[in-house]
Amino acid sequence: MKKILIFNLLLLSFLACNKEKNEKIVFPSDVIYSLDKWKILLGDGTYKESLINYKKDDFFYVSSDSKGNWVVFKTPNAGVTSRTSKNTRTELHQKKYWTPEIGGKLTGTLKIQHVSTTGDATVPSSFSVVIGQIHSDEGHENEPLKIYYKKYPGHKKGSVFWNYEINTKGDNKGRFDFSTVVWGYDWSVVGPNSTTNPKEPKDGIELGEEFTYEVNVFKGIMHLTFTSKNHEKATFSKNLLVSDFSSKKDIPQQVINLYSSKRTVSEEKENAYSGELMYFKQGAYNQANGQSTKSKIFNGDILKQYKNGSYAEVWFKESTLGAGALVDENPIYASHVIPFFDHWNLILGDGSNAGIANNFENKDFFFTTNDGTTDWVVFKTPNAGDTHGTSNNTRTELAQLKKWYPKTANDKLTATLKVMNVSSTGDARVAASHSVVVGQIHSADKHENEPLKIFYKKFPGHTKGSVFWHYEINTKGDDNAGRWDFSTSVWGYDFSVVGSEENSYPEEPKEGITLGEEFSYEIEVKNGVMNLKFRSKNHKTKIFTKNLINSEYTTTEDIPLQTQRLFVPIGQDGVELADAYLGEGLFFKLGAYNQTNGKSPEINKNWCSGAETHGGNLKKQYEDGNYAEVWFKKGSIIINDNAISNKDYFMKND
């Protein structure tokens, strides 16, 4: 009998263990089948691009009730936020982009399980969570749609409403949201003081009560539909191409009441979000924080916040992403991130000409990536490869297809970027070592010189590098051997600051730019004058001007001291045409033009870096840091109607 009992106990134990082994883990991708079209940012700052068979306890996982499985999006009042946002999120981010003219569709069936129980009742975003969005990826990156759920403590019912944020005319300081009620109140209904709530809405939605939203953008019109078993269906439409708020008289009273006592509100662009790349977001974007809403955050301790009700939790059981209107169902191309590729010719780091780069990528040189919040276009090029034209340096670089003339020009190029790598080797005494050119103006005529090159340079072992720009003279006479550059510092050093020995570096610049630090440049040429503007969040804005049709360097006496030290000793001592680049066709360039090469410094102590090239082996150069890599997230180009085809230049240099 005793033996039988022991056997039965062992059998039960075996069956229990076997059951546990055979129990299938349910992932969010088993519930929402469209997760291959999304990436996610979690409330602890975790970023994940592939969501198939992925979950993370406490933030993104599956739970169930009597109706089946749900995907849980949970995020605390305080965690790791995204970019400039004050609020944490466990939120999906659509991988593909579209414009209002092209359109897209998103649906979600969900229930809110929790919103923060603390906050300031006079602040509209207190006790709320955003459960769906349309976000712009251009301009001010504002949000033409945010769908909210909000419930005050002590209330049984909460409100569902949606906000439209204007695409602000001018700077973005005067932006505002206009809120529209679905069920309950809009977000302008607040308490009379920080601890007193308004009356409970009669037709609100309870925690745990299921409802559905549908967002359908078609031919520039955003159509919204909200349905719930116990509530009347609600539908709305909003034009995303023509603004309702383009003048002061159009600003609604709701907005005046909420914003005017705090700051000035602005008008919207007349064409609103026309032409801007957009994407959907969905999940739990917690609007309660320890700053503006004064919600409790327990010093950021996530488990304490969860224990004490300081979090948002949203369950989705269905989510669909409309396919027909999307830009592309394939991987995101650079032309989706920077939509001006019809104006450019692309040269890659292996010397090949890729032409116009719409819907094009090359994983070694030119592709897209995401840093957790934003898509970037990557330009990557080794120290040694097949170069283009007469250059000693490799490039993955865009060149403008049309040329223009400085005297009649009204042309502009803007770019926002961050440099991710410059060569780890090179002779420190050579001025071009450890540097990359990220923007240019190039001549297509005569000597084909460069009135502008924008550099980034960082010595090994330094945290900060330098940004500077060059003007290359348009040399007088037929012989261009005497040409030289004059370098001007933006942040950090100029080109002329070099090391005392091959591996001995100058002091690190105090006001330099680190790898991965975002900055932007603006180049405008108008009536013969080049205007440059450089911006960075942590640095002073710098502005420069240079006349391109009236030279400062027409005699040997005009040659600057910097040039006398760098170029004159190696025989580059020319003078410039009196009218500089007048009458020459010019064009913009943008990307990664690697200035570090394997040529011996004995050839030219300014441009021949003597860097490691591993015999031109691309893989080894990339593995050992002997390459340049630059990421761009924004760019725009304004071309004067007088610009003409630059085809002859590319045929000549192919």
**Tens-place pLDDT, residues 614-651:** 999 999 999 999 999 999 997 777 766 554 545 554 44
Q: What is the DSSP string of 409-453?
A: -EEEEEEEEEEEE--S-S-TTSTTTTEEEEEEEEE-STT---SEE
Q: Which CATH architecture has domain 58-321?
A: Sandwich (2.60)
- pLDDT at res. 341: 80
State the Cα–Cα distance between residues 570 and 563, nearest whole angstrom. 11
Class of the CATH domain delimited by 334-653: mainly beta
Find all residues with CB under 8 Å of 424, minimum gap 6, and list them: 434, 460, 624, 625, 626
Q: Which of 30-39, 139-148, 378-387 has the highest mean pLDDT?
A: 139-148
Q: Which residues in the chain are classed under CATH 2.60.120.200? A: 58-321, 334-653
pTM over the 0.75 mark: no
Mean pLDDT of the chain: 90
pLDDT bracket for residue 323 (50, 70, 90):
very low
Q: Are strands 519-526 and 529-536 parallel, antiparallel or unpaired?
A: antiparallel
Provide the 8-state DSSP code for 549. S
**Residue 550 near residue 579 (C-beta atoms within 8 A):** yes
Distance between CA 470 and CA 484 in Å, rounded? 10
Percent of the chain with pLDDT over 90: 75
Residue 46 phi, psi (nearest 5): -65, 135
Report residue 94 as tokens.
């659509």
Report which of residues 380 and 4 the model is more confident about: 380
- What CA–CA distance (Å, rounded) separates 134 from 601? 54
Q: What is the mean pLDDT of residues 260-284?
A: 91
Give the confidence band of 453 by pLDDT, cuts at 50, 70, 90.
very high
pLDDT of residue 104: 87
Least confident among 20-34, 260-274, 299-313, 492-506:
20-34
* Exposure string over 389-412, b if 16+ CB within 10 A, otherwise e: eeebbbbbbbbbbbbbbbbebebb
User: Looking at 79-93, 416-430, 475-489, which range is the least confident one?
Assistant: 79-93
pLDDT at 325: 41
